[in-house]
Structure 1
Amino acid sequence: MVYYQKMTPTGYQKIKDEITRLKKDRPRRIKILQEARALGDLSENTEYTEAKRDLGHLQSRLRYLDKQLKYAEIVEKSADGKVDLGKTVTLKFADEEETVEYQLVGQLEADLTAGKVAYDSPLGQSIMKKTVGSKVKVEAPAGEYQVTIIAIK
């Protein structure tokens, strides 16, 4: 069974951009490794060890990102008035006066400090497919709480 990772078009492009950047950096890292290897005894050559490790990290990251793109399911925003992946929602927490905005994104794109919450997080799952005015109970590991959906963009 293949598990496809849902993501927004922006998240997909961000991964493609990182792959491009890493591929451009690979020749430089290979050159550093070759220069370190030319220094002699590899058993005590810290420059060689570090360069080899850095190149290995780069290659590993490229494989990981390629796999993310291979199994990506890009979800476009719909205009159905319901909370869904890629949309921005304004929420009011039951115990607070202020509202907060979150964009629902795929797991790889989630960044709470940037206002991006994963669609499969407890909050994301609770508000998915709901409409403006819905009062939703969120069951999170730290306890349950209630939010009201104020707006959907």
Structure 2
Amino acid sequence: MTNMISAEGRKKLQERYDYLWENERPRMVKNMADAAAEGDRSENAEYIYSKKRLREIDRELKHLGDRLKVVKVVYPPLNPTSVSFGCWVTYEDENGDERCYQLVGPDEFDVSLGRISVDSPVGKALLGKKVDDEVTVKRPAGDLSVVITAVTSSKPGK
């Protein structure tokens, strides 16, 4: 897994970690203590739920903490000449359909926002390519041939 991340992505990871540590975890610890004070824990649904949720929070905190230690903030080039981390890439497929994606790290991809991971098949195929390059994307649904029409450092239309 790539350890690159955008500054915005790093900030979101840190905010999620801080929220879990400062809000969610203390709330679950309190819920567990309150539920335990009621007596029999084996049949206490609130206690059982809080204990389970606390384990989930601790797992997520460990994952986020481990990622925050190794990720490196990478900024896109101001005037990219080829596809690289952080760039916005516009391409046209065989049917004339145009798509635009930003290549980001695996911790921050969100296809609904137009952000795909550099580790994804599409991301890997696009890296290093230039405008007018024809690229074949290997997909489980079959190969897709696309032509890169634009590479920019900021989202087109902004």
- Alpha-carbon offset, residue 73 of structure 1: 2.6
- Alpha-carbon offset, residue 74 of structure 1: 2.3
Deviation per CA, 1:78-116, whole angstroms, max 9, x where unpaired?
A: 234111111111111122x23111010111212222211
Q: Percent identity?
A: 33
Runs of 5+ in structure 2 lacking a partner? 153-158
Aligned residues: 150
Partner of 2:81: 81
- Report 1:1-153 matches (<5 A): 5-25=3-23, 26-78=25-77, 79-95=79-95, 97-153=96-152
Q: Which amino acid aligns with 1:72?
A: V
Q: Distance in 2 between matches of 1:127 and 1:86?
A: 12
Moved beyond 4 Å, runs of 4+: none
| Contact 1:102–1:117 (8 Å) recurs in 2 | yes
| Contact 2:93–2:145 (8 Å) recurs in 1 | yes
What's the secondary structure of 1:107's corresponding residue? coil
- Alpha-carbon offset, residue 70 of structure 1: 1.2
Runs of 5+ in structure 1 lacking a partner? none
- TM-score, reference length from structure 1: 0.91
Q: Which amino acid aligns with 1:81?
A: T
- RMSD of equivalent CA atoms: 1.5
Deviation per CA, 1:121-148, whole angstroms, max 9, x where unpaired?
A: 1111111011111111111222111111
- Alpha-carbon offset, residue 6 of structure 1: 2.0
Q: Which amino acid aligns with 1:104?
A: L
Q: Distance in 2 between matches of 1:121 and 1:47?
A: 40
- Alpha-carbon offset, residue 17 of structure 1: 0.8
Q: Distance in 2 between matches of 1:138 and 1:61?
A: 33
Q: Distance in 2 between matches of 1:60 and 1:39?
A: 27
Q: Which amino acid aligns with 1:56?
A: R
Partner of 2:156: none
